[in-house]
Amino acid sequence: MGDEPPSERNPQRTWGGRFGTKPAELMTRINASIGFDKRLWREDIAASRAHAAMLRDQGIIAEADAAAVLEGLDQIVAEYERDGVPEQLELEDIHMTVEHRLGELIGPAAGRLHTARSRNDQVATDFRLWVRNACEEAIDAIRALQRALVERAEKHAETVMPGFTHLQVAQPVTLGHHLMAYYEMLRRDVSRFTDARARMNECPLGSAALAGTGFPIDRQATADALGFERPTANSLDSVSDRDFALDYLSAAAQCGLHLSRLAEELIIWASAPFGFVKLSDQFSTGSSIMPQKRNPDGAELVRGHSGRIIGALTALMVTMKGLPLAYSKDMQDDKEPVFEARDLLILSLEALAGMVETVDFEAERMRAAAAQGYSTATDLADWLVREADVPFREAHHITGRAVKAAEEHNCDLADLPLDALQAIDQRLDERVFDVLSIDASVRSRTSYGGTAPERVREQIAAAKEALGL
Ligand code: ARG
């Protein structure tokens, strides 16, 4: 559908000229996107301003018309800021809503704004501007959560907790180390949003409906005015590309996945059998029937919301995958998944930061749990390798027998009598007890990236510098 001027018959519709009757009420309803794309109003007006100024500078429209357009657009900004965006289904979308209002305000000069432009390049430009800003917003919110994690990690650089594999106690680690693992995931998320932002920073405006335009437009000028690196290179691609939205959504989906994992750990840790954390009153809810309950609803909703963010990525991929070049109206469905994902992501990041800031860590419970499950067995095996030159595989086997002995004695490895150990292997002597405590185990893990408090402090120092703390 082209964008013809308003007709006498159907003055509200910018494209009504070639039609005999008005569309069915149902057609109007299925066609309209104003209910959601009104969120693009600032971007739409910014892009129109850039376009109008370029048309004027290129001598395509008269100075006076351009001045009227720019003034009218200013007035619309003031109106929308004050009263919100009116939703009139017959005007379909935000682009026609703005243009229609401009016509009411300045008369026929408003009709000049759409010279050398189509809603196809217009929506591609508006949406890119919006998503570009959403990348920045996501980065800011991720950084706030990272700050919360780093601050708590610093306080707990030496707090010992069980490290798990298969959710079985594996080796002791520090809580600081565990929290900093999430810092790292989020660091990659920042990097993904940064990449996505850089990749999308090309301006489709001036691609017109699909083929470009014969008017002597200056695409670099509009790109510059809107803060883009450069104009997009191919007009067909420009109006049919939604990779920028998919890039945003995949970064959001992966970030949501990370948030869900952290939320899941808080949920497990808050359960009575674990008792590693107590979520603050601010981030807990009660049960309407069980008075004793303190539920981690916030964390559960972060976990739940991540499913919807991942769903948004899937939705848009499936929408896009079968579309021929160039624009198809299916693409109007690009916005709601992105808007929803953005809202859920920001809310989840903020809520999780609040939880991390206010949660109580039960260091004693963590410590007690770390001592269980023969978590220092690897330290015993490593001792045999280091002190008695036993090959690791053999040391592993000897340690397995020590674990069995401890099970039979119903005690921890560190509490086994020396003669019980020596009955298993003569090369074990009393010095081995130095490595069997959980503190010694944690202190010994000094390899780069390891859990030793000194290494964790280095990670934290680097993180603080990166965050400007
Ligand atoms: N509301 C439309 C969208 O969001 C704008 C583009 C419409 N273009 C068209 N030729 N009908 O995709």
Q: How far is the CA of 266 from the centre of ligand 1 (A)?
A: 44
Question: What is the Cα–Cα distance from 327 to 330, expressed in whole angstroms?
Answer: 8
Q: What is the pTM of this model?
A: 0.93
- DSSP state for residue 15 in the 8-state scheme: T
Mean pLDDT of 198-213: 98
Burial degree of 394 (CB within 10 A; 0-12, 13-18, 19+) = middle
Please give the number of the atom of ligand 1 that sits closest to the Cα of 1. Answer: 10
Q: What stretches of 359-446 show up as alpha helix (H) in DSSP?
A: 363-371, 377-388, 392-409, 418-424, 438-444
Radius of gyration of the chain from its Cα atoms, rounded to whole angstroms: 31
pLDDT, mean of residues 215-236: 98
Residue 61 pLDDT: 98
Pocket test residue of 38, 44, 207, 332 for ligand 1, highest count of atoms within 8 A of CB: 332
Which atom of ligand 1 is nearest to 335's Cα? Answer: 4
pLDDT in tens, 388-397: 999 999 999 9
| Average pLDDT, integer, range 45-50 | 98
Q: How far apart are CA 173 and CA 300, in angstroms?
A: 25
Q: What's the 119 CA to ligand 1 centre distance in angstroms?
A: 6
Assign 17 a pLDDT band (cuts: 50, 70, 90).
confident
Q: What is the average pLDDT across 10-27?
A: 80
User: Of 191, 287, 328, 409, which is the active-site residue?
Assistant: 287
Buried/exposed code over 85-119 (b: 16+ C-beta within 10 A; e: otherwise): beeeebbbbbbbbbbbbbbebbeebbbbbbbbbbb
Please, are residues 298 and 348 in contact by the beta-carbon 8 Å criterion? no
CA-CA distance, 192 to 249, in Å (whole number)? 11
How many other CB atoms sit within 10 Å of the CB of residue 434?
12
287 assigned to active site = yes
The CA distance from 29 to 310, in Å, is: 28
How far apart are the C-alpha atoms of 113 and 91, rounded to whole Å? 17
**199 touches 231 (CB < 8 A):** no
List, as one string, the DSSP characters of 122-182.
HHHHHHHHHHHHHHHHHHHHHHHHHHHHHHHHHHTSS-EEEEEETTEEEEEEEHHHHHHHH
113 vs 285, more confident:
113
CA of 327 to the centre of ligand 1 (A): 8
Length of the chain: 469
Cis peptide before 52 (omega within 30 of 0): no
- Beta bridge partner(s), residue 172: 162
The Cβ of residue 286 has, within 10 Å, a number of other Cβ atoms equal to: 13
C-alpha closest to that of 129 among 230, 212, 42: 42
Cα gap 164→45, rounded to integer Å: 53
Q: What are the Cα distances from residue 250, in Å, to 9, 254, 333?
A: 45, 6, 17
Supply the pLDDT for residue 8.
43
Place 4 in a pLDDT band, splitting at 50, 70 and 90.
Answer: very low
The pLDDT tens digits of the residues spanning 263-319 come to 999 999 999 999 999 999 999 888 888 888 889 999 999 999 999 999 999 999 999
Q: What percent of the chain has pLDDT over 70?
A: 97
Distance (Å, whole) CA 420 – CA 11: 96
374 — alpha (psi -120 to 50), left (phi > 0) or beta?
A: left
Mean pLDDT for the stretch of residues 352-359: 98
What is the Å distance from ligand 1's center to 223 Cα?
21
Query: How far is C-alpha 154 from the chain's CA centre?
Result: 25
The partner residues of 169 in beta bridges, in order of sequence, read: 164
Q: Which residue has the higher pLDDT, 7 or 87?
A: 87
- Neighbouring CB atoms inside 10 A of 80's CB total 19
Q: Are 250 and 313 in contact (CB under 8 A)?
A: yes
**Number of other CB atoms surrounding residue 245 within 10 Å:** 26
For 125-144, write each residue's pLDDT tens digit. Answer: 999 999 999 999 999 999 99
The pocket around ligand 1, CB under 6 angstroms, is made up of 1, 33, 37, 93, 119-120, 123, 327, 329, 331-332
Q: How far apart are CA 55 and CA 67, in angstroms?
A: 11
Q: What is the pLDDT of residue 18?
A: 85
Phi/psi at 24 (5° precision)? -60, 155
Q: Is residue 7 annotated as part of the catalytic site, yes or no?
A: no
Average pLDDT, the chain: 95
More confident residue, 92 or 2: 92
CB of 336 closer than 8 Å to CB of 368: no
* Residue 141 C-beta-side C-alpha neighbours within 13 Å: 23
Which helix (H) or strand (E) segment holds residue 361: the answer is: strand 360-361
Amino acid at 266: L
Across the range 321-335, mean pLDDT stands at 98
pLDDT at residue 203, rounded to an integer: 98
Measured between alpha carbons, how far is residue 447 from residues 110, 247, 443 in Å?
Answer: 68, 36, 10
Q: Averaged over 428-442, what is the pLDDT? A: 93
| pLDDT at residue 13, as a whole number | 63
Query: CA 75, CA 70: separation in Å to the nearest integer?
Result: 9
CA dist., res. 351 & res. 356, Å (int): 9
